[in-house]
Chain A
Amino acid sequence: MTSAREQILGAVKQSLKRNGPNATNLETCEQRLSDPEAGLIPERSRLPHPAQIDLMEAMLIELSATVQRVSSDNQVPDAVVDYLKTRNLPQEIRLAPSMDLLDLPWDGHSLLKTSSGPAREPDQVSVTGAFAGVAETGTLMLHSGPEGPTTLNFLPENHIVVLRTSQVVGAYEEGWARLRKVFGNGVMPRTVNMISGPSRTGDIEQKIELGAHGPRRLHVIVIEDGDSAA
């Protein structure tokens, strides 16, 4: 008996009238896997880096996210606390277990409770880093790993992302190039989340409602740490 796998691949080959190697042009196909090339990238994001950062911010706002710029890492805790206060949120945050975030001067805020790790059900506010920001559509790229539990991006109602200007790129393809540099060609972390605004649905009479299952609010704190660090 042929296996299900052979049955399907056999049927595919037969339909493609293939009786040699399993590609019309093996070399082209191999190359497409080992050395992927970018296709057509919209002009929109081909800008000097400061303009890309502005585009990123404008797109985020269009997506109903909020943005605050700060000039150094040390200002992040102040920005977080301010955000919680103005939204009337509890002074309690769940941090991604990354050194960058844990090392920030949180103790300056005695009322703020911090903990870190994957999200647990009653957590209301998460604070995570990002891997990249794609200016083209205001899309944040985050990935899983010891410093990035995926549940933090979805379970709490409020997601605060700390993004560095040096992480802002123009197009998705530049994000992939950076990812390959870190993980190697053809290698991916378990999860890469491309996040464009808070959770939403139009499933009831096509009226857009925020906060369907994921976060109702997405707040991005942008640290101006200069130019592209790529």
Chain B
Amino acid sequence: MQSTSHNFKDNARRAIADPNIQAAMAKMKVGFTGKRLAAAARLPEFEALRDAARDIKNHSLANLDFYLERYEDKVKETGGHVHWAPTAEDARKAILDICRRVDAKTVTKGKSMISEEIALNDHLEQAGIKVVETDLGEYIIQLRKEPPSHIIAPAVHVSKEQVEADFRAQHQHLPAGRSLSEPTDLVNEARQILRQRYLDADVGITGANFLIAETGTSIIVTNEGNGDLTQSLPRVHIVIASIEKVVPNLEDASTILRVLARSATGQEFSAYTTLSTGPRRPEDPDGPEEYHVILLDNGRSSMLGSEFQDMLRCIRCGACMNHCPVYHAVGGHSYGWVYPGPMGSVLTPNLIGVEEAGHLPNASTFCGRCESVCPVRIPLPKMMRHWREREFERHLTPKSVRGGLGIWAFLARRPALYQRLTGLGIGVLGILGRRRGRFKSLPFAGGWTKYRDLPAPQGKTFQQLWAKQQKTRSTTK
């Protein structure tokens, strides 16, 4: 998908003025956070499991070459095919080749962020293949021709009235007078429409939450069951996964699964956790005849061994965005590409470049909530800081910011001058603001005073107050 990350500021301004997005965000920020908290409280081992999940991912990444090779061996052993894709283009090509070979007319898809990352739908559609998203949220945004705004709740920004309007516009063969005002009606209608699509499809494409080296298995975690219908009815099942999804064994996956749903939706376990290994066996009464796995790198191998390696632990639970005050304010689309929120602010510059996505790591208050809820304890704020440093080193930071930082650095190295100047400034502001106690506008501080008043300082700096207090202490002792 075409990125608009460089337009983050404009995107954000528009989102803040959009009442639909604001209403949706107000709802999501209480829903997800409360449920996660309750689920965590119910499992005394939750924090220890987060440590264990982090350690498993670290071990897997430190030995990624080993586990990838062993995983591949196992997939082949069970009759599946592995396609290595260094870039998004390689992945798209591999998938289209398979579809062409089996003469696919229709493809159904389970939810996959990797598919968004490589912009698969457009590519297949341009080749004349009909692509049907089957996850309800993905189906809704496909109708709306929008990208997802959240990694686990792609249509979280859409109201039920909007969904109703979309369904009426798209499902014209259904009676116009039908009731569609409740979510139940909408879910039932989507169910009815998609049912036939599953049965018609030639190829089913899913993502993967995990790849298991021990057995050559791919795992998907869903609630709707759409992924299962997608992968068990058509003749061909294609899995798209990025290389960092591999973990050693089933026990390791179980440990991570224990923190995944709890962090994501606050469920104890998602409704469907499905393990797929190879194509159907000769004696199986159903299942796909072909099983393919696309292993995508697309920049991940160069994150290994860098200060961004920890980001590869991400299990795409969405907790960081569910808890992010910036995400709550601007919604997912403002981030301008596939991955929003704190994880996107770290990952996106890695995948599409800091020149394009440099605003994202700056869109943080460094409040630290993302790191405090991340099930695999990714130090997200620290990594956003790494990006800011890199930007600065590469002179990508705007002139005004560089200038400001330069002046500050000059002063910070000269404490006496710093104290004199700040003392003077605060003193003057204190006198000027004495009458009203606040400023409605101030030169050089328009960005602040445009939205709120600046309280007038009391006339002394912290350092001055501190020095005075120390002095009185030592005299009263």
Residues of chain A whose beta carbon lies under 8 Å from any beta carbon of chain B:
3-5, 7-9, 11-18, 22-24, 26, 29, 32-33, 36-40, 42-44, 59, 63, 97, 117-119, 121, 137-139, 144-146, 149-151, 153-155, 171-173, 176, 186-207, 209, 211-215
Contact = CB atoms under 8 A, between A and B. Distances in A.
B45 A201 contact: no
Given A33-B249, A209-B187, A215-B225, A146 B284 contact: yes
A211 B387 CA distance: 44
Interface in B44-76: 44-45, 48-49, 52, 56, 62-70, 72, 74
B183 A207 contact: yes
Given A15-B304, A43-B45, A199 B271 contact: yes
Given A18-B65, A151-B232, A200 B286 contact: no
Contacts of A191: 232, 274-277, 287
A145 B277 CA distance: 12
A213 B156 contact: no
A194 B31 CA distance: 26
17 contacts: A15-B305, A22-B66, A36-B250, A37-B251, A40-B49, A137-B268, A139-B269, A150-B286, A151-B232, A190-B279, A191-B287, A194-B269, A199-B223, A201-B136, A202-B265, A204-B155, A213-B134
B217 A42 contact: no
Main secondary structure of the interface of A (DSSP, over half): loop
Interface in B191-230: 191, 194-195, 199, 213-217, 223-226, 228-229
B470 interface: no
Q: Which of B63, B186, B216, B306 has the most CB of A within 10 A?
A: B63
Interface string B222-251: 011110110011000000000100001111
Contacts of B155: 203-204
Interface of B: 24, 27-28, 31-32, 43-45, 48-49, 52, 56, 62-70, 72, 74, 78, 83-86, 90, 134-137, 140, 153-156, 158-160, 163, 183-184, 186-188, 190-191, 194-195, 199, 213-217, 223-226, 228-229, 232-233, 243, 248-252, 254-255, 257-258, 265, 267-281, 283-287, 295, 297, 301-306
Given A42-B45, A204-B183, A32 B228 contact: no
Nearest to A18: B65
B270 to A, nearest CB: 7
B169 to A, nearest CB: 17
Closest 9 CB pairs of A and B: A214-B225, A212-B224, A15-B304, A11-B301, A36-B249, A203-B137, A15-B305, A23-B66, A194-B273
Given A9-B68, A36-B249, A172 B254 contact: yes
Contacts of A204: 136, 140, 155, 158, 160, 163, 183, 186-187
Contacts of A15: 301-306
Contacts of A206: 27-28, 31-32, 153, 156
Contacts of B78: 188
A178 to B, nearest CB: 12
Contacts of A16: 62, 64-65, 304-305
Contacts of B281: 144-145, 189-190
B248 A36 contact: yes
B84 A5 contact: yes
Contacts of A17: 305
B227 to A, nearest CB: 9
A219 B463 CA distance: 69
B69 A189 contact: no
Given A29-B66, A214-B225, A176 B250 contact: yes
A196 B222 CA distance: 11
B251 A195 contact: no
A150 B287 contact: yes
Contacts of B277: 188-191
A173 B233 CA distance: 29
Contacts of B306: 15
